[in-house]
Structure 1
Amino acid sequence: MDMDGMAQRAQGWLEQLTVWLQSPAFLAQLAAIALAIVIAPIVASIIKRAIPMLRIAPADDASLYKLRFVLFRAGKFLRAILLVGLLAVAAILLRGMEPLGEDWLVKIAQSLAVVFLVYRAIKVFVDDPLWRKVAIWTLVPLALLAVLGYFDDLTAALEAVSLGEDSAITLLAVIRLGLFGALFFWLGSLGNERGQSAIRAQESLDVGAREILAKLLQIGVFAAVVFLAFGAAGIPLSGLAVAVGAVGLGIGLGLQPIAANFVSGLIILLDRSVKVGDFVMLEGDVFGRVKAINMRSTTVATADGKDIIVPNTHFTESSYENWTHDSPLQRYEVDFGVSYDTDLDALVPLVRDAVLEHPDVLAEPDEPSVEFRNFGDSSINMCVEFWCQGIDDGPNKFTSDVGFIIWRTLKANNIEIPFPQRVTYQIPMPRAEKGKGR
């Protein structure tokens, strides 16, 4: 280690620092930086007091919730924003002063403040811990290289690395594709979500048409995302053709089920055999209401809060029951039994009129029908058939309510609801056999 050389360099730095400390221009820049650091939090506090949405989180049902939420989060690094702005103003003022006329130190401080601003924005806006780390370890170093003036050198080095001898795709283009692809995919997801919500809110369209338009919007948005990402990365469309060819080869080799489910989803939406809101029964007595029809699968929500993910091909290749395909009208039945002493001719209108009083029981297409089923071992087995609008599931308790009505009606009219009975006969033994046993 050359101690003399190090001592000489340290002596040179000390002399340069002494010259700077004796320079009014350097001292003015130090004062401007210190003043900006002191003023930024004071002005940020004043602005937050004047604009409540910068310091108070908006309610979930507030108007323009997304915009107000972004402003609220931006208020958390308002000091960093003001610091960058104040340093920029200070640099302009110092350049305009004839005795001073230097702003290089303020520019360095402003560049570091920009890096700090990027760091604070990532900490505030990126909630996921993994993506936050990725953003910090990529965007912050890039911002630092940019403010130090080495960003152009880095891009030139990456541009020189080509993926193949005759390929126009460089390592820089691939990195840009990843960055712009992630950005456009995120923006596309937000736009797709908002667009689908707006389409599904159009009550003038029926449910099937809304779902078709929503899915077409989804396909269009993500197709546009792909083209925009390739364009922003500077990759020619021939590169996109290669990627599409690779995807086609993948479909031919092992992605047939995914492609089949995708096509089946489009068929379901176009022929409207299944719509969002339909009540379906699948194999194995699995039933529920269709919650969403996605690109690969259909989500069926059961009454006990479970979501069943069903491949779209199931609805195009297998049988299933759609209870609400054409009409929400459903017919239900409740069985009951009465004793053999019951006057059935009087029982029928009695139970029918009582069931018809239920507010959800309909008189059309048919009134409630009390029917004879069979002669049971202990009772005459009867049945009530009735029509309701909707599924006997969740908030609807049609069969349960009618069962209570029948029970109350029978009790009020002293009609016996029998229970199984057995009569046992004991055959007496002959006297001769009794004597033998002694």
Structure 2
Amino acid sequence: MEFDLESQPEIVQTIAGYALQGWELALTWLLSPAAWSQFALLIVAYLAAVVITRRLRPALARLLDPGDSDTVLAKARRFVAQFLPLVLPLMAYVLTGIGESVVRSIFDSGAVIAFGKRVFLFLAVRAMVRDIISDPFLKLLGRYILIPIAALYALALLGPVATRLEATVVPLGNLSFNLLWLLQFLAVGGVIFWLGQWSNSQSSTFIQRQEEMRPSLRQLVAKSVEFLIFGVAFLVLMNIMGINLSALAVLGGAIGVGLGFGLQKIASNFISGVILLVEGQATVGDYVELDGGEAGTIVKMTARAAILETYDGRWIVVPNEDFITTRVVNYSDSGSANRYEAPFSVSYNTDINAVPDIINTAVSKLDFVLDTPEGPDCELVGFGDSGIDFAVEYWVNGIDDGKNKYKSHVLFAIWNALKEHDIEIPYPHRVVEMKGELRTTPL
């Protein structure tokens, strides 16, 4: 049966041509004794690989098992152990390669066994993507780029497909590029920037472990290393893909003009962030309060803004410029000790000379109250309408959680101490004086 494909689109004719070539090749293999011998050799090589793998893989697993050790050598052994699923297809590939040399010396032909080698290599790539790669981005690249490339290579179609993609040119204004270049750019760029992200994560972890450095300096070094890594990754990508960096000069000038006019705030916040990291006036972990009323603990500092976490769990994004141009109160900058005050009142019938010693003794017994820079200090504040007003000042480590974390315990201690010494805590009351005769109206 013959089909007239002249009226069909070019791609249909191309596919039909490849299908016809495959059919003719299959018929040639089916009628060739050399092809049958190569098929048999492929089966023998695979079965031999299965037998060897069943004995070799458990031994390798025991050899590479580091137990609970966390040394550099143990990490290397764990890394190598991840590749054990590749033992079977690679062993079959090696045995098939040995058989190919034998077949070619006998029959002067090895097309079938070469096809088997490519299939085993495809199975190795598939096992690596499915069982070994765990990173989501790399798994995505493997699933949609690496496996299709391996499949085309196994079918001996990688060359023709690459030629076809290279011949397909996409115009873009004054520029143009082919589809093969675009796919290479996406794949290489993805791998390079993933390596940059991984390198940045490792370097950031190492820098954060350097406790002898100030937190702000660690942040600055980590950010500098991040910019350096991705800058180098960008330059490497441009060089690999053959892009002339001088062509980016116009783009860089346009970006500079944009920063000068339309992105002034972003540039100002970026420079303010660098100043903050260099001077260390505010860093991650500090509790700060700004003129605008924003207050909280700095949990993250980015290139544009700092993120404050309030005591009720809300996050406030504060531009870095606000830390430079406005007044900022840093409760953690001069040390972790902070002073607070707890007010109270006693009755006018109280011997007020004894109150300071009673309260100072009671508050000093609390385990969170510090003796330095100063112990509890009870002071007379004034004479109120209902009682005599006092306040006790005390120092603690850290920040009072909404003025309740420490103050509540201090007020409990004051109450118990006053009750223990029979000191009355006043409450508002009024005396009503009635002048004149009180008259009652009979019912």
Name the TM-score class by shorter chain. Answer: 0.7 to 0.9
Change (3 A) 1:130 1:95: closer
Aligned ranges 1:274-423 → 2 under 5 Å: 274-282=282-290, 285-393=293-401, 397-423=405-431
Answer whether contact 1:173 1:234 (CA < 8 A) is retained: no
Residue 35 of structure 1 corresponds to 44
| Matched AA of 1:118 | V
TM-score (structure 2 length as normaliser): 0.80
1:198-217 deviations in whole A, cap 9, x for unaligned?
A: 12211222223222222211
Answer whether contact 1:372 1:383 (CA < 8 A) is retained: yes
Residue 239 of structure 1 corresponds to 247
- Distance in 1 (CA, whole Å) between partners of 2:62 and 2:434 is 91
Residue 142 of structure 1 corresponds to 149
Match of 2:112 among 105, 112, 119: 105
Range with bigger deviation, 296-305 or 383-392: 296-305
Answer whether contact 1:362 1:387 (CA < 8 A) is retained: yes
- Distance in 1 (CA, whole Å) between partners of 2:164 and 2:254 is 28
- Distance in 1 (CA, whole Å) between partners of 2:115 and 2:304 is 53
SS in 1 for 2:361: helix
SS in 1 for 2:401: coil
- Distance in 1 (CA, whole Å) between partners of 2:266 and 2:21 is 67
SS in 1 for 2:31: helix
Residue 187 of structure 2 corresponds to 179
- Distance in 2 (CA, whole Å) between partners of 1:337 and 1:39 is 92
Answer whether contact 1:372 1:382 (CA < 8 A) is retained: yes
CA positional deviation for 1:128 = 7.4
Residue 2 of structure 1 corresponds to 2
CA positional deviation for 1:289 = 2.0
Match of 1:86 among 92, 105, 128: 92
Residue 8 of structure 2 corresponds to none
Answer whether contact 2:96 2:116 (CA < 8 A) is retained: no
Tell me how many residue pairs correspond in the alignment: 424
Answer whether contact 1:176 1:232 (CA < 8 A) is retained: no
Instruction: Work out whether 1:96 is the aligned partner of 2:126.
Output: no
CA positional deviation for 1:254 = 4.2
CA positional deviation for 1:383 = 0.4
CA positional deviation for 1:264 = 2.0
SS in 2 for 1:290: strand
Residue 10 of structure 2 corresponds to none
SS in 2 for 1:92: helix
CA positional deviation for 1:275 = 1.7
- Distance in 1 (CA, whole Å) between partners of 2:430 and 2:392 is 28
- Distance in 2 (CA, whole Å) between partners of 1:255 and 1:171 is 35
Instruction: Work out whether 1:198 is the aligned partner of 2:206.
Output: yes
Change (3 A) 1:9 1:2: farther
Instruction: Work out whether 1:26 is the aligned partner of 2:35.
Output: yes
Residue 16 of structure 1 corresponds to 28
- Distance in 2 (CA, whole Å) between partners of 1:9 and 1:51 is 44
- Distance in 1 (CA, whole Å) between partners of 2:112 and 2:24 is 19
Residue 265 of structure 1 corresponds to 273
SS in 1 for 2:296: strand
Two-structure CA RMSD over aligned residues (Å): 3.8
Change (3 A) 1:202 1:236: same
Identity of aligned residues (%): 30
- Distance in 2 (CA, whole Å) between partners of 1:285 and 1:57 is 54
| Matched AA of 1:105 | V
Answer whether contact 1:53 1:71 (CA < 8 A) is retained: no
Answer whether contact 1:265 1:296 (CA < 8 A) is retained: yes
Answer whether contact 2:96 2:117 (CA < 8 A) is retained: no
Instruction: Work out whether 1:114 is the aligned partner of 2:126.
Output: no
CA positional deviation for 1:195 = 0.9
Residue 228 of structure 2 corresponds to 220
Change (3 A) 1:403 1:115: same
1:374-429 deviations in whole A, cap 9, x for unaligned?
A: 222322221001222322239x9432332232222222222222333344456675
- Distance in 1 (CA, whole Å) between partners of 2:231 and 2:339 is 46
Answer whether contact 2:53 2:87 (CA < 8 A) is retained: no
Answer whether contact 2:339 2:393 (CA < 8 A) is retained: yes
- Distance in 1 (CA, whole Å) between partners of 2:90 and 2:231 is 38
- Distance in 1 (CA, whole Å) between partners of 2:297 and 2:256 is 35
1:155-214 deviations in whole A, cap 9, x for unaligned?
A: 455556375697696654444333222212111111111112212211222223222222
